[in-house]
A and B are shown apart, each in its own frame.
Chain A
Amino acid sequence: MRADLDIIQEWIPAGSRVLDLGCGDGELLARLREHKEVSGYGLEIDPQNIAACLDKGVNVIEQDLDKGLGNFAANSFDVVVMTQALQAVHYPDRILEEMLRVGRTCIITFPNFGHWRCRWYLASKGRMPVSEFLPYTWYNTPNIHFCTFKDFEALCRERQVRVLQRLAVDREHRHGWASRLWPNLLGEIGIYHVSRR
């Protein structure tokens, strides 16, 4: 079971209407439906993931996030979630704006490129970091807009987005003393709960 989903689940009120962008195999929505009577939809483009959603009985809509959320009305969802997809969309700032338009609050998770391992890799080898956690080379990666926690928070400030909660965790989604102390250096994944100011 993915630990980030445990954390996200806690931030979503029971009975909410949830839109999950890049919902993967639908695990989050399946769990929210089961434990929190949440209704909602996942957006996904990968055929295998879509099939997995159908198998789980999760509502899945085949839709490309890069084409926006124009088909969803403003404030039509309680929570809009996007886990590990911010770095893979063409315009992260636009999707953030769209999420805040459609949902009352948003939950976003993304890998922190400011983590010391990334910094060390780049500094010592002079090459783009490739690891078990980010197992792609620069030319074949789906991740095209890496950022650090500081970068994301600067974007939030610039766009008048309020950070309600933030957790910096390691790749196992544990949040120990280290990532609390120096999140931008020691946190591998950021889990942000944001809303329009």
Chain B
Amino acid sequence: MRLAFPEDSVGLVRPQMLHFSEPLTLACGRSLSDYELVYETYGELNAARSNAVLICHALSGHHHAAGYHSPEDRKPGWWDSSIGPGKPIDTRRFFVVSLNNLGGCNGSTGPGSLNPATARPYGADFPVVTVEDWVHSQARLADALGIQQWAAVVGGSLGGMQALQWTISYPERVRHCLAIATAPKLSAQNIAFNEVARQAILSDPDFHGGHFQEHGVIPKRGLMLARMVGHITYLSDDAMGEKFGRELKTDQLNYDFHSVEFQVESYLRYQGEEFSGRFDANTYLLMTKALDYFDPAAAHGDDLAKTLAVARADFCLMSFTTDWRFSPARSREIADALIAAGKNVSYLEIDAPQGHDAFLMPIPRYLQGFRSYMNRIAV
């Protein structure tokens, strides 16, 4: 058991839950009559309620962004490198809110929850949720917490899309938007990878049309494959080469298809295996669909500058040189649109070998830029 947490950690944290009984109409046309959101908070809301920061999670993320759930926890929250006393999102100044999105599998209402209409788990019947839906649900969470305006909405990847959407859906409720390693919409290649992941899940015999819970099984194999495909896109060629090269697990080749021969195969299988034990297949389908559907400019004649014209926030965009999932060019599209719209925007292209995953890593220049930007936010 650990005796103390690191000094710059938010320490022991506990998830909280809020129940919402006002129906939420979703982009797909259906609505959720009532739902729950699980969230965590770090730091203190100031008297003026002006120091709140919303953290939006990515594809497989959740509410546990920083700190530890128990003294025995080996790993802190997923963005612990950036949130804590003295860290870029300094919890001595900011009140940080991080939630698990609707459709998630970490406590918020999602496919694994009971459908009040049938008293059975939603499974495949859970409605498709979009980035806009999430933002609306997050606005209700803000209302419930007494937060009229966020000092900043912050997110990486799919989380960055939510941060952008906030400035479009609720321009008067966001002062600063930090969108990291993200894109204004997916490319055909992005969607293609998502489709492979979904097909892996859908074609698993244990998927049972999304109602696997009722059969007492999980589509482990499909989820594992989905994660393996996803994981390849999170790393750069260099990062993989550096980590594994062509290194073999054993000394000789086996000339078969079943044994794990290369180190990289072993790594991917481990990642897939671990993931399939903790993540819900239906949630994975929903989250990848939300990614595919995100395209705020579509409603404005594909004019991103026009789309972002309503925003009142100042923006900070960051990308990573070896990220090929959401390459720097995708962030530059957003930066260019914001410049064309006359918004305050800063853009940093961080030289990092880690690929898309870099946004979760303690890269000095990244954290320095992040910190500098957060420091200038008046609360």
Q: Which residues of A contact B (CB under 8 A)?
A: 17, 39, 41, 47, 50-51, 53-55, 57-63, 71-73, 76
Contact = CB atoms under 8 A, between A and B. Distances in A.
Contact of A54 (B332, B342, B349, B369): B369
Interface in B319-355: 332, 335-336, 339-340, 342, 344-349
Contacts of A71: 332, 336, 339
B376 A76 contact: no
Nearest to A52: B372
A187 to B, nearest CB: 35
Contacts, number: 47
A61 B365 contact: no
Given A47-B365, A71-B332, A53 B346 contact: yes
B173 to A, nearest CB: 22
Chain B's interface: helix, strand, loop or mixed, by majority?
A: helix
A61 B345 CA distance: 8
A61 B335 contact: yes
A57 B369 CA distance: 12
B368 interface: yes
B373 interface: yes
Interface of B: 316, 332, 335-336, 339-340, 342, 344-349, 365, 368-369, 372-373, 375-376
18 contacts: A41-B345, A47-B365, A51-B368, A54-B376, A55-B372, A55-B376, A57-B376, A58-B346, A59-B346, A60-B346, A61-B339, A61-B345, A61-B346, A61-B347, A62-B347, A62-B348, A72-B336, A76-B339
A47 to B, nearest CB: 5
Closest A-B pairs by Cβ, 4 of them: A54-B372, A62-B349, A71-B336, A61-B347
Given A63-B347, A72-B339, 4 more contacts: A51-B365, A51-B369, A53-B346, A60-B346
